[in-house]
Structures are given as C-alpha cells and as structure tokens.
Amino acid sequence: MSAIAHRLERAGIATVVIGLVKLHLEKINPPRALWVPFELGRPMGPPNDAEFQRDVLRAALSLLHLTRQADSDSGVLVDFPHEDPNSVDDPQWRPPAEHTSAQAFTSVSVECAALAAEKSAAVQRYGRDPVGVAGLTIDQAAAFFDAVCAVVSDDPLPASPREDLSSNLALRFVADDLKAYYLQAAAAVGKPSSRQLHNWLWRETRLGQSLKSLRRQFLDGNDDKRTSLGNKFMVPRAFVD
C-alpha cells in the first residue's frame, strides 16, 4: 500500500497510510504514514469502539495538513501513541457452551450444528455475518470439508461443490468460511481478544485439529497444488505445530 501511496501522490492525490508494520513504512517511505501498534488485520484497532477508531482516523488525516521541509527525502512517519484496548484478554469470556473438547464431535458438520445458536446470537449482536466467500450454506461447506478430511493420501478430492471452482479453491474458501463461522460464534458474548478466539479455534475444536491434520497430509503428499494449499493457505504460522 505504501507503493500505491507513492504512485497516487505523484498523480496529485494526497495520501496517508495507516500502517501496521513499521519496518515496511520505513523502507518504502510513503509521503505520510501513521504507524499504529495494532495487530495485523486491524488498522483501525478494536471493533465496535467508535471513539477510539475516530481518534486513529483523526490522527492519520491530520498528517494531510503538514508542510514538508524543503529538500527532504523522507516522508512523514508518526507513531500513534495508544494501544488497542481489545488486545487485552477478557477475563470473563468463556468458549461456547458444550465446547470443552474437540473429541466430543465426530465431524465438523456435527460441531457446526452445535455452534448454530451462538452463531445466530453473534450475527444478531454485531449486525453482520462474515460467512459467505464460498457461496455455500454452512451445512454444504461443512459436508464438503468432512468429505475432504476422509480422503486418504493423494487420492482425488471430492467434486467441487461449485462448478466454477476447482476442488482446491473451493476447499480454501470453505476453510475460510468455517473459520469465520466458528470465530463469530465464539464472539457471541463478552469482548474476547483475537488471541482468545484463535487459541480456542486452533487448540480446542475439531475444525482446528482437522485443518492442521489436512495441512500435514497435503505437505506429505505429492500433489503440488495441495502442497501449496496446505503450506500457505490453511493454518496461520502462529498455529502450525
């Protein structure tokens, strides 16, 4: 994005970047940048905290009023001084009821069904549903995922549930939707940090275990496309065993 900022500025559009990786801002040197000490994926900080988000945006837009020193080769880089208040764990938060162990569920389909009430409550609470990139119902997505998990070694994946997508690509989108479904359900109550939500997903759920298991299977196989899928597009680096 800093490279885009350079190009837009040359085209006469004033730019300011709200950046999460200070090293990249320093190296690429966009015209104006506000470094924010938030986690990747959250340039504006905490969800549902309008006052804090306005402070971030106000700080960024204020850089548009600065005058650069003559003969300066450097862009303007300012640090936002406040931490994300949602980066702290919510001590009152608990995972969805009944979800004490991944062993309680025989399949992701069954586990999804057990989360349906919390998922519905979360959608009502936040006024939005983050599930949908796969273009399937969650039952269809979970059924396809369970069928993939039943595949042995390099045997063919089940037919894609969408005619316009390969099975590999459908699997990537299905995995994204299942993760979104679970994480939204787990956020139905309280103010869990992303750390609490991800720790639960990757360590306590059948979905998390299955994704890690699929990753290992794909990496051990001889199908290059599946190897790439497993290596890059399924499990965050922080949760690779």
Least Å distance between CB 155 and another protein? 25
Nearer to another protein, 61 or 104 (CB): 61
The nearest distance, CB 224 to another protein, in angstroms, is: 16
- Nearer to another protein by Cβ, of 2 and 205: the residue is 2
List own/partner pairs for 114-119 with CB under 8 A and 24 or more apart: 115/181, 115/182, 115/185, 118/185, 118/186, 118/188, 119/181, 119/184, 119/185, 119/188
Side-chain-side CA neighbours of residue 102 (13 Å)? 16
Closest to another protein by CB, 71 or 106: 71
Phi, psi of 34 (to 5 degrees): -110, 115
Other Cβ atoms less than 10 A from the Cβ of 72: the count is 8
Residue closer to another protein, measured from CB, 33 or 142: 33
Query: Least distance from C-beta 106 to another protein, angstroms?
Result: 26
User: Which residue from 47, 69, 189, 173 is spatially nearest to 125, judged by alpha carbons?
Assistant: 189
In the complex, least distance from residue 86 CB atom to another protein, rounded to whole angstroms:
8
